[in-house]
Structure 1
């Protein structure tokens, strides 16, 4: 068989369902081989969209999402999505065609050194120089991408190699189980927790990846310790749980900071320093940190670990709780009540344009607990992270490692493919939407029903927020928008415009029953941004 056919067989061996991408001249053999495979090729309208789809698919399934481009400009278009996946710890295998090996040694049309280009933004970057190594390259790419901490593998596939004859089978799939935590470290952590007066848990994305949400809930409940989550761990403890303090990560004071600042022990479970730098939350020199994760702690002067447990997170939590003392009713009880009250404060607000708090309240009411919200990056991301009430893990996807604009729309397409029974909503600013709006055509063509909720303020809202906060004025952040309803119609999708606050909830419910691609143009009142900044700047912790 051709090397390209062997490559496809290796992908099938890895149980690949979808490949997101755009074909080119340099991967003609590979594209032809896919015609005889059960793998579905999702033709996208931009390679960045393809990479974002692979990114979100990987986060939701734990299996590497796969994206494909041709050489040169096609490959460079993958870069932002690949970097996002790598820093958000999403397993992805990116594949790019390449010129024939007979012209890689010299200046040549569209030729770049792709292996070195992708090396800093991936865990593994390689080129196939002989067909005999294809089984090893593919197996290693998936193994590395899916191993903790997950990330991206990149494969450069020269066009002449793809047409060579080869006779090799794929390699057997293998994956190691995480080790059991060290018993001495378990005892050490239990002693620190038992002696604590004000312990608190910060749960990160590692809890989601290790399927340890239930173990975390049992640990917190048994020891009566409250839990705050990072942006990418929303839902590992339901917001309705009595010990849930919501989300941390705003680089300003927030209500949850009151609890962390008072804590004498912070238990970091699956916490990733790339999301929320320790100097932003560790303001207590006497605070002891316990690190529970699949990987050792990063070196940071504000993250000096008292006890570190490396291995299976669920097992570590169970073993620690078995020998730790339960704490009395925590001092955070008033804080929890205060946070819950603030979350409900704008549920009946009738102002127009709509306040962020009102939009998120209605969105939560319209969706089932298992439905999926994909947040783009911008001012709305901060509101979603802070206020959207998440009831289960992997139902609110936020990019907070690389935090790249443009992820929500392609991400929602991938979410619907990965979880077809769940509603997928892309929540995006007008700026982020326009960065990858071409993928509306992809969703319409493939009849993938998604809802795109556009927060319309005709500004780069997050930058405006920061400019006004620092300098009292904005600078070069305003723009104009197309008519989003007409744009939806032009793509063959449905479009709705929100014209008063009471329109939003029924429109969201209608969009769900429409079961097609829907765009909702929702004007947003971002004057709430500075009000929040002022409120948190004068924050007095509830006693």
Structure 2
């Protein structure tokens, strides 16, 4: 056994099924070790795509996704997807190759200090500079990546370490460390604050979905009839069919959800990550009573200074809080729920031009409750966040921490490998072309997912912001290829509907069909 064999054996011990990556010379021993293992190595077309695949795998499964790249440009290309996992709290382990140790003390071909480069965007990283530390380091990388709050870790293996003989075994995987039960006094105080509130509201964040706390949150909402508003990454924590759901912080034809938060006098923040939404937006005057329920203490922030913090396993914290509060209160904003859902479900008039907002009700109708929608970043993301109803947790994936464009197509690859339900990718023309080459990965693997491509020949979200601020836009206009022909050149069946009826037919056909499909929606 050499260092590479031990590294891969450790990955097997962690239950890794896929490693997404781009091969490199310094990874030769690692690649052949993967060939001889139970792990499937998935060669991709760009390291950023590999990292996004690992990122989405981690979000969907709760198990760390693994991405692999060589030294120098391979590592630098990887870093955006790793940073995305870091801010989106997605478990990911990145592995990079490196030149031999004999040349790392001096200027050398493609050699960069990758460990220090990754330091700001990972929970932990190290160089495997000795075969004797490989088993401990891999176990630590996975333990920290998956431990709440999860995130990215990184391991660098020099090529001479990978080739060096070693006599060691992987460390066995253990149950994850969990927080103790919540402090009884904190729960009692929180229950008292809720009892005194006239217009309480729950803010469901990424943590409510990530920690599988949805069932307990739904029990709390049903007992207390407290309205719930979600962050973009908290969508689905409570079903949007529930009378208490107000969808997300920006939902409604006239921002009714934001209005409800403005009226609320008590906010129960469940698994809320400040990286998603600045609390200054919903607590501008710092007058709201805030109850923080999360696995970690609250970030120190002028506009998010909770009155009480319940720091514990989120599900157990919700369970204890549900037991401590009195039920029977009437939901104070059911009328807002109806306004938001009615607007979200309104289908377009036949002569209405194509828009993201009116495409969404058609798409929602074509998708089952447990089908997965992955949104790229752009103007369409804002509409999906605000107007796409979600009924089950982890079925609408939006990057809202780093919020990096280009995640959707590689995310579709990872999602189709991870789940049995249908997968739909929603992207704009800008984000699509950043990682469109991963369509080849999808066809090579024989995957089945649908790309819905909203095309406005523009970096539309930036244009909208510029026009709102200045009345004009600059530097955002694009020219695009024939996307149908482009997709077909990869062996992907594609359509460009010209009416709403044709769009509905195309979506229905694509979602239920085998093989990757693309539906282009040409926006007015």
Structure 2 residue aligned with 1:409:
409
The alignment's C-alpha RMSD in Å is: 1.4
TM-score (norm 1): 0.94
| Contact 2:211-2:314 within 8 A present in 1 as well | yes
Residues 350-399 of structure 1, C-alpha deviation per residue, up to 9 Å, x if partnerless? 24541222210111011111000000000000000000111101100000
Aligned counterpart, 2:456? 457
* Matched position secondary structure for 1:305: coil
Per-residue CA distance 1:206-251 (angstroms, 9 max, x = gap): 011111101001001101101001000111111111110101158x
Structure 2 counterpart of 1:169:
169
In 2, Cα distance between the equivalents of 1:358 and 1:259?
24
Contact map agreement 2:250 2:258 (CA 8 A) in 1:
no
Q: Secondary structure at the match of 1:77?
A: helix
- Mark the runs of 5 or more structure 1 residues left unpaired by the alignment: 526-543
8 Å Cα contact 1:349/1:358 also seen in 2 = no
1:321 paired with 2:308, answer: no
Aligned to 1:482: 481
Counterpart-to-counterpart distance in 2, 1:285 and 1:161: 54
Change (3 A) 1:336 1:170: same
Give yes or no for contact 1:262–1:284 (8 Å, CA) kept in 2: no
Q: 1:498 maps to which residue?
A: 497
**Which range moved further: 497-506 or 296-305?**
497-506
What SS does the aligned partner of 2:373 have? strand
Report the Cα distance in structure 2 between the residues aligned to 1:38 and 1:329, rounded to whole angstroms.
55
TM-score normalised by the chain length of structure 2: 0.98
1:171-216 CA-partner distances (Å, limit 9, x unpaired): 1212212221111101111111111111000000101111110100
- What residue number does 2:446 align with? 447
Give the Cα–Cα distance (whole angstroms) in 2 for the partners of residues 155 and 331 of structure 1.
Answer: 51
Q: Following the alignment from structure 2 to structure 1, what is the Cα–Cα distance between the partners of residues 318 and 235?
A: 19
1:353/1:523 contact within 8 Å kept: no
**1:220-369 correspondence runs (5 A):** 220-248=221-249, 254-326=255-327, 328-345=329-346, 347-351=347-351, 353-369=353-369
Q: Structure 2: 5+ residue runs without aligned partners?
A: none
Give 3-state SS (helix, strand or coil) of 1:268's partner: strand
Count of residue pairs the alignment pairs up? 523
Q: Secondary structure at the match of 1:78?
A: helix
Which stretch of structure 1 is more off in the superposition, 494-503 or 399-408? Answer: 494-503
Distance of 2:377 and 2:384 partners within structure 1: 10
The equivalent of 1:435 in structure 2 is 434
- Report matched runs for 1:109-258 at 5 Å: 109-174=109-174, 175-248=176-249, 254-258=255-259
SS of 2:502's equivalent in the other structure is helix
Cα distance per residue 1:29-87 (max 9 Å; x no partner): 01011111110011100000000000000000000000000110011000110000000
How big is the shift at 1:348? Answer: 3.5
Q: 2:424·2:511 contact (CA, 8 Å) conserved in 1?
A: no
Distance 2:284 2:403 in 1: 25
Question: 1:501-528: per-residue Cα shift (whole Å, max 9, x none)?
Answer: 2211110111123211111111123xxx
Which residue of structure 1 lines up, in the alignment, with residue 102 of structure 2? 102
**Alpha-carbon distance in structure 1 between the residues aligned to 2:207 and 2:141:** 21
